[in-house]
Amino acid sequence: MKYTEFREKEVIDCKDGKRLGYVVDLEFDPCDGRILEIFVPAYRKCFDCFKKPRMHRIPFKDIVKIGPDIILVKICEKK
């Protein structure tokens, strides 16, 4: 699958059905070329436009299914 195909897919959390957004970046393992993480921008509030954009860093192991239009993920809550 090409990077441009990843960017066209919407990422959805399968636990609550929340739409997270679209993939904006990928992190690869330089040794074998596997995808380690996908990056999806977190929704921002109105006055956060002056801050550095926050990203959801979703490990590839947390991807449940890659469909024709969407990517289903299961985000683990950090405590």
Q: What is the CATH number of the domain that holds 51?
A: 2.30.30.240
Domain total for the chain?
A: 1
pLDDT for 2 beyond 90 = no
| Residue-number span of the structural domain to which 21 is assigned | 3-73
Looking at the domain assignment, is residue 18 inside a domain? yes
Dihedral Cα 29, 9, 11, 34, nearest 10 deg = -10
Looking at the domain assignment, is residue 79 inside a domain? no
Looking at the domain assignment, is residue 30 inside a domain? yes
Looking at the domain assignment, is residue 63 inside a domain? yes
Kind and range of the H or E run holding 4: helix 3-7
pLDDT digits (tens, 9 = 90+) for 16-61: 899 999 999 999 999 998 999 999 988 766 655 666 668 889 999 9
pTM of structure: 0.78
